[in-house]
Amino acid sequence: MKRSEQQKKQHKRKADAITEKEWEEGDDFKNATAKSEALKATMNTIEQRTGKSVARVRQLMTSISTKLNRSIDGFDSEFVFDRSKQTDAMKVMFARAKSCLESITTNNITTNSARLLTGITAVFLPNTEQSTASLRTCCGALGLNRQAKYAEEGLKNRKEHDAYVALKGSEIKAGDTVTCIDGYGVVKAISIDSITIELQPWSFDVAYEPASKARVRRFEPQLDRYERQRRSDTTPIEWIHTIEHFHRKHNCTSPNRKDIAIRRHPTYPRQQQRAPRIYRYESWNEIWGAFKRQHSAIAARIMNDKYINIMETITEEGTSDNANDDLDEDEDVVNNANEDSSSDDVDSSNVDDSDKQTLHKIERILEIMNQPYKYDMCMKCVCIPDGGKLEDAKFACVEGNCPLCGMDKLWSNGVRRKILKKQNTIMRRRSGYTN
């Protein structure tokens, strides 16, 4: 008895020493017998402790792997219970997706990249309320930032999608968001024979009779929906109100209730917007010139680089220090219309000033008549800046009231009489008549 007690104490001291000992590299088993005995002892312990339950073995081995990885520095072990081709394929796909996400997150995230990350977050990240996996562990495995906006939007989109899945099979009622043949919207009224939907984004009501004509189904939320906040450097709302007020003031709204303008949505043509028709009696260039003179500060900031120099002369009150610095396209049009040709084929030393003007007008008439198209002929008859279109012409030029352009300005003031007199003289000489 004494000897057995001493052996037990020795075994206990050895076990305690091994337990307190730090992990080291050590040596392999000396022979196969030692390895076999260690394996048998380990298997006996596992069988006794788990009662040969497969579920307990899986749970226990996973915990053993975690314990070993934490206790031994640089040790990485993993127990795989279901080794199949599908598992291998999932690992390859996961590694490829992780490398792609690392490339996206390290660069500047654009709107399209943010939408992609939002969709991935919504698909892969688990619901912490229904799963034991932590959000930090999953985001670290995928290389995602759990505090980023796309992660928050992705989780919110997934909640909305889960709510949509839970409503599958239920009846559609008033107030539900649905999709139909003409887009998406909110159900305002529904019955057996008809359904009324407020289509978005223009809040346009459409009634379908019978209800089956609408082809209604419940609206499925997007998993990759990502909306950025309105930028702070956009056009201020005060400027927009000023521009709208100026536009209403310089254009006439039709008082006739039946005189309305209809605009259709580019994506959902069934949706319409109706408003009283507005008549414009000035070209856009004329309206823009008047706006620049009245609101020079706003015009200087919203126009292109041509007007950047005006921004330097704007005072705190929003007015220009030097009114002569304002650029007016109307002056450019007048200057272009008053340019005269510097080359003459006819020797002008023997003719007076009136003949010079007549020759210049004749050249202008020939230039107009030699145009290949009627559109080009009309372009030459009105005041239009370089690079402009016929739609940019002033109403005064189109109506013939401009003092600088028009066919009547070239053909009048004695030009017709001089041409006809010379032709008559030539015709008489050819026919044998003399003055």
pLDDT at 432: 38
Residues 187 and 160 grouped into a single domain? no
Q: Give CA–CA dist 11/26, Å, rounded.
A: 21
Residues 310 and 242 grouped into a single domain? yes
pLDDT at 132: 66
**SS3 for 272?**
strand
pLDDT at 88: 77
Kindly state whether residue 355 falls inside one of the protein's structural domains.
Answer: yes
Residues 154 and 184 grouped into a single domain? no
- Which residues of the chain fall below pLDDT 70? 1-3, 74, 76, 78-84, 128, 130-132, 230-233, 303-354, 413-414, 416-435
Q: Give CA–CA dist 242/14, Å, rounded.
A: 91
Cα distances (Å, whole numbers) of residue 140 to 69, 79, 98, 180: 18, 21, 10, 41
pLDDT at 2: 62
Q: Give CA–CA dist 386/200, Å, rounded.
A: 43
3-state helix, strand, coil in the chain (%, to 5): 55, 10, 40
Residues 323 and 248 grouped into a single domain? yes
Number of separate domains in the chain = 4
Which residues constitute the domain of residue 138?
85-166
Residues 308 and 353 grouped into a single domain? no
Residues 192 and 260 grouped into a single domain? no
Kindly state whether residue 94 falls inside one of the protein's structural domains.
Answer: yes
Residues 375 and 297 grouped into a single domain? no
Kindly state whether residue 128 falls inside one of the protein's structural domains.
Answer: yes
Kindly state whether residue 171 falls inside one of the protein's structural domains.
Answer: no
Q: Which two tokens stand for residue 107?
A: 């660069």
Kindly state whether residue 70 falls inside one of the protein's structural domains.
Answer: no
Kindly state whether residue 406 falls inside one of the protein's structural domains.
Answer: yes
Kindly state whether residue 162 falls inside one of the protein's structural domains.
Answer: yes
Residues 265 and 319 grouped into a single domain? yes
pLDDT at 323: 31
Q: Give CA–CA dist 105/145, Å, rounded.
A: 9
pLDDT at 256: 85
Residues 307 and 368 grouped into a single domain? no
Q: Which of 327, 361, 377 is the last residue of a domain?
A: 327
Contact 298, 277 (CB under 8 A): no
Residues 366 and 322 grouped into a single domain? no
